[in-house]
């Protein structure tokens, strides 16, 4: 469950960022609910405490990304590169890895 007491820094919910080069982007504490990040390059991205509920991350590159304390419930992570990503305390309930 999302901690609603967090102070969100920005809201990009529902945006289409498919295929975008977002290497090393700082999306810490960002609302990314239902955001399309399919095939996006998020290598080294800071996504700690981000809300990625229902986000489309299929085939995204999350190599060495920081997803600690991120909300990933119902996210599509099929064929996503999560090598060396920090997923500590992330909520992975109902994530699609197929």
- Tell me what pLDDT residue 2 has: 47
Rounded CA Rg of the chain: 11
Percent of the chain residues topping a pLDDT of 90 = 91
**Domain boundary assignment for the chain:** 1-88
| Mean predicted lDDT score pLDDT of the chain | 95
Instruction: Count Cβ neighbours within 10 Å for each residue of 28-45 and write b for 16 or more, e otherwise.
Output: bbbbbbebbbbbbbbbbb
Strands (E), the chain: 10-11, 30-31
> What does the longest C-alpha to C-alpha distance in the chain come to?
33
For the domain covering 1-88, report its CATH number: 2.160.20.80
């Amino acid at each position: 469950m999302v901690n609603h007491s967090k102070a969100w820094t920005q809201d990009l919910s529902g945006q289409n960022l498919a295929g975008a080069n977002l290497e090393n982007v700082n999306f810490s504490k960002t609302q990314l609910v239902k955001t399309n990040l399919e095939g996006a390059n998020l290598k080294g991205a800071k996504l700690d405490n981000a809300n990625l509920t229902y986000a489309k991350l299929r085939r995204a590159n999350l190599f060495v990304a920081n997803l600690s304390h991120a909300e990933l419930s119902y996210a599509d992570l099929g064929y996503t590169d999560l090598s060396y990503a920090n997923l500590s305390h992330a909520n992975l309930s109902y994530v699609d890895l197929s």
